[in-house]
Structure 1
Amino acid sequence: MSKILIRGAKVLGGEAQDVLIDGETIEAVGTGLSAEGAEVVEAEGKVLLPGLVDLHTHLREPGREDSETVLTGTRAAASGGFTAVFAMANTFPVADTAGVVEQVYRLGQESGYCDVQPIGAVTVGLEGKKLAELGAMHESAAGVTVFSDDGKCVDDAVMMRRALEYVKAFGGVVAQHAQEPRLTEGAQMNEGVVSAELGLGGWPAVAEESIIARDVLLAEHVGSRVHICHLSTAGSVEIVRWAKSRGIDVTAEVTPHHLLLTDELVRSYNPVYKVNPPLRTERDVMALREALADGTIDIVATDHAPHPHEDKDCEWAAAAMGMVGLETALSVVQQTMVETGLLTWAAVADRMSVKPAEIGGATGHGRPVSAGEPANLVLVDADYRGAVDPAGFASRSRNTPYEGRELPGRVTHTWLRGRATLVDGNLA
């Protein structure tokens, strides 16, 4: 593999520096670097970050290849600046055995666009009745450490306790989709003023908050790790903040769409805005931004949820829940967090690379941009402005809530262990 010289990039948004890559590793970082025969990437004015890591991606394979495949999903990831993604377990068949997680892991290796770490199901078939093969999945070639029934809540307290006890033995983590099912039967959107006016079934904030409160207490009792998926309400923020103040081992994520969009958009009845958990109020959005800034919320995760056209282009009640997010995540975070002054680029690297890699145990990712580290990097043209055009997405699906919306920033290059997966905005 030849040498690559990234010239004049703002490393973590700071002073312009050169970064020399030799093979899979960063050889040097400094000013005035040169290397005979190196490929030169002129990066003046652009921001260089460690490759992004997504702890919450739906790749759909096996079983729903009409929505996404591991190959198309990882191509979308590379387009968005990601060098590692964690693939959720709600596939067909469910990733609840060593065989299925190893299949996903191998497909990720074959794709070559980013590392794929499977997430194992907590319960068999996501049915909440019997623990899945947690130990076998951990000991498999995939080395699973994160377990989740995402899409469904582990609502049985005894089952959740057993899962927390089991993963504690090998330092694993249970990632909870916090949704009390009895409080959300028939729910179509956030419960509030807008749902009342539209006559749509409401998804109350307490359905999320009650599960989070229970699970942080269980994690404290067991002495285990719990991670809260796609936290979406101001009340949930306060519960996690309280739990952390007690020293409970809890981490939490927020999605880009919950940092930007509100339930007011549902007035259009456009199913592209239908997602679980639902878009909340402006008050919730502001609380989420502040919590991400102060560290109460640890990371940004996309919850990339691709669906084929026919599952979204229908009446609201029949439409599937979910949005694609890998290719727009960094732009949304730039708009909501960087341009508002809530986060620096260095802090973005922390929330979108360093901490998700730490939580999930993504070896070689989320590392400093310094000599001797793996060359997992993303280069961003932060001055770019443009309307989102899903026709150009690498994802197999197009269910984005941002079509036609102007967003800042554009990923120009992504490197996975020194090999370019994206060059000048085009997949390599």
Structure 2
Amino acid sequence: MSTILIRGARPYGEAPQDILIERDRITQIADPGVITATEGTEIIEAEGLIALPGLVDVHVHLREPGFESSETVLSGSRAAAKGGFTTVFAMPNTRPVQDSAGVVETVWALGREAGYADVHPIGAVTVGQAGEQLAELGSMADSRAAVRMFSDDGLCIFDPLIMRRALEYVKAFDGVIAQHAQDPQLTRGAQMNEGALSAELGLGGWPEVAETSIIARDALLAEQVDSRVHVCHLSTATAVDVVRWAKARGIKITAEVTPHHLLLTEEKVRGFDARFKVNPPLRTEEDVVKLREALADGTIDVIGTDHAPHPMDSKQTEWDHAAMGMVGLESALRIVHATMVNTGLLDWRGVARVMSEAPAQIGSATDAGRPLQVGELANIVLYDETVSSVFSEADLAGKSVNSPYLGLELPGSVEYTIFRGTPTLRAGTPAPAEEVARASRTRIAEGEHE
């Protein structure tokens, strides 16, 4: 286990500090020059770089098991490291579905073996995500994966009785139901946001009420049983109003927004480039403005990338037949920098809140989202806010390249990602997988990894 001295980094974008890491913990933080490096200490010269707690993403698709041509736990967690993430929550739409203790433990174990990030499987709410029968929520919670977040992911839990029973069940162990808020009857044949542009392009419209009606219903159900509900990828101004209303009533509701819904609008659909086809769809400029404001004022709690890798042939086809989804792990912090920091809506402590602290709390990841202070696990991202570059395929570390940002000038650069005291990204290049995995396995063997 190495000792690392980070010199001159700016925790939360504030005054420069030196940070000493021994084994997997932060053991000292002091003014520059105070800490003396002992023999064998690795020095990271980080003058001017912003230090943030390792990022946490409550909404990623790692595809394994079953869809390894798109992504694997290894490749997806490597993409996470490239973007500064040290903890990710993996959605259950795998094959087999993550609806039992055996499957979630498999995904959890693959994450430990990969060694790039803590991988927390999200359990399916219903068997096979079919929406008919509750899955083994208790056994998944009691498994080694200790699942606390449950979702049917891209399939809305449409039956209110099923949703209510799920909320009642997870309350016993402080779990949370993460809902994909989409009324399936209102979105049949929908291809993009409903409005003047969808009529002009001749594409099926996706009305905002399909989202807001489900959020309102679930908020009332959560209130009745006093349980936690989380809204996945909220996308409309009206949905913001519903969440704000629910929070004012004291309902235990949280919400996430994706980076792409903070930046991109439905105008991108004009070119019929399927990289911009996503669920929920890109909305209007008014929606984008309201989403940014809601993230800044706390109505929306967290960023969730909805990292959704697809093979190239699923995107390079006619719009109607193309798969929905975008990759987002590698670009998320840079998009938040552009949309929230450069606009003055968030400072870097605010970024840590929405991209690390709050998502860890929602997912009950007790080792994640911890502040940069002595005694805490050394999960750290070092970020250069002074540079900018054109986002390209070279910036992607996963197996798929369906990013909507290719060719776009973006600010910032993730320079280092340190996971439990081990650098998994060094100055833009992921460490070799076998090296990182070896360090992770050593920590596990020594009992340092829960």
For the aligned pair, the TM-score class normalised by the smaller chain equals over 0.9
**Residue in 1 that maps onto 2:12:** 12
Q: What secondary structure does 2:173 align onto?
A: coil
> Retained in 2: the 8 A contact 1:391–1:398?
no
d(CA) in 1 for partners of 2:247, 2:163? 19
What does residue range 245-284 of structure 1 map to in structure 2 within 5 Å? 245-284=248-287
Q: What secondary structure does 2:388 align onto?
A: strand
Q: Deviations over 1:172-200 (max 9, x none)?
A: 00000000000000000000111011010
**Residue in 2 that maps onto 1:164:** 167
d(CA) in 1 for partners of 2:387, 2:156? 39
d(CA) in 2 for partners of 1:425, 1:412? 5
**Residue in 1 that maps onto 2:437:** none
**Residue in 2 that maps onto 1:23:** 23
**Residue in 1 that maps onto 2:37:** 35
Once the two structures are TM-superposed, the CA of residue 363 in structure 1 deviates from its matched residue by 2.2
What does residue range 156-305 of structure 1 map to in structure 2 within 5 Å? 156-305=159-308
Aligned AA (2:36): S
Aligned AA (1:416): F
Task: Note if 1:96 corresponds to 2:99.
Answer: yes
> Retained in 1: the 8 A contact 2:379–2:421?
yes
d(CA) in 2 for partners of 1:104, 1:124? 17
Question: Taking structure 1 as reference, are residues 392 and 289 closer, same or farther at Cα in structure 2, changes over 3 Å only?
Answer: closer
d(CA) in 1 for partners of 2:393, 2:153? 26
d(CA) in 1 for partners of 2:361, 2:273? 37
Aligned AA (2:12): L
What does residue range 349-364 of structure 1 map to in structure 2 within 5 Å? 349-364=352-367
d(CA) in 2 for partners of 1:276, 1:62? 22
Q: Deviations over 1:42-76 (max 9, x none)?
A: 11111000000000000000000010000000000
Question: Taking structure 1 as reference, are residues 315 and 229 closer, same or farther at Cα in structure 2, changes over 3 Å only?
Answer: same
Once the two structures are TM-superposed, the CA of residue 392 in structure 1 deviates from its matched residue by 4.1
d(CA) in 2 for partners of 1:122, 1:197? 38
d(CA) in 2 for partners of 1:29, 1:351? 24
**Residue in 1 that maps onto 2:2:** 2
Which of the residues 374, 384, 388 maps onto 1:381? 384
Across the two proteins, how many residue pairs are aligned to each other? 428
Q: What secondary structure does 1:182 align onto?
A: coil
d(CA) in 1 for partners of 2:198, 2:23? 55
d(CA) in 1 for partners of 2:136, 2:372? 37
d(CA) in 1 for partners of 2:413, 2:106? 32
Q: Deviations over 1:217-273 (max 9, x none)?
A: 000001000000000000000000010011000000000000000000100000000
Task: Note if 1:51 corresponds to 2:25.
Answer: no
Identity %: 64
Which of the residues 113, 116, 119 maps onto 1:116? 119
Aligned AA (2:84): G
d(CA) in 1 for partners of 2:366, 2:174? 15
**Residue in 2 that maps onto 1:343:** 346
d(CA) in 2 for partners of 1:200, 1:236? 23
What does residue range 409-420 of structure 1 map to in structure 2 within 5 Å? 409-420=412-423
d(CA) in 2 for partners of 1:364, 1:102? 18
Q: What secondary structure does 1:9 align onto?
A: strand
d(CA) in 2 for partners of 1:382, 1:103? 38
> Retained in 1: the 8 A contact 2:330–2:395?
no
Q: What secondary structure does 1:183 align onto?
A: coil
Unaligned 5+ segments in structure 2 are: 432-450
d(CA) in 1 for partners of 2:36, 2:122? 42
d(CA) in 2 for partners of 1:390, 1:238? 37
d(CA) in 2 for partners of 1:193, 1:401? 23
Query: TM-score if structure 1 supplies the norm length?
Result: 0.99
d(CA) in 2 for partners of 1:322, 1:93? 20
Which of the residues 367, 370, 390 maps onto 1:367? 370
d(CA) in 1 for partners of 2:166, 2:339? 35
Structure 1 residue runs of 4+, over 4 Å off? none
Q: What secondary structure does 1:187 align onto?
A: coil
> Retained in 1: the 8 A contact 2:89–2:122?
yes
d(CA) in 2 for partners of 1:45, 1:373? 23
Once the two structures are TM-superposed, the CA of residue 393 in structure 1 deviates from its matched residue by 1.4
> Retained in 1: the 8 A contact 2:98–2:122?
yes
Which of the residues 323, 327, 331 maps onto 1:328? 331
Aligned AA (1:42): E
> Retained in 2: the 8 A contact 1:189–1:274?
yes
**Residue in 1 that maps onto 2:443:** none
Q: What secondary structure does 1:287 align onto?
A: helix
Q: What secondary structure does 2:335 align onto?
A: helix
Q: What secondary structure does 1:209 align onto?
A: helix
Q: What secondary structure does 1:181 align onto?
A: coil
> Retained in 2: the 8 A contact 1:5–1:18?
yes
Task: Note if 1:67 corresponds to 2:92.
Answer: no
> Retained in 1: the 8 A contact 2:315–2:402?
yes
Once the two structures are TM-superposed, the CA of residue 391 in structure 1 deviates from its matched residue by 3.9
Q: What secondary structure does 1:399 align onto?
A: coil
**Residue in 1 that maps onto 2:446:** none
Aligned AA (2:66): G
d(CA) in 2 for partners of 1:127, 1:169? 24
Aligned AA (2:239): S
Aligned AA (2:410): L
Query: TM-score if structure 2 supplies the norm length?
Result: 0.94
Unaligned 5+ segments in structure 1 are: none
Q: What secondary structure does 1:361 align onto?
A: coil
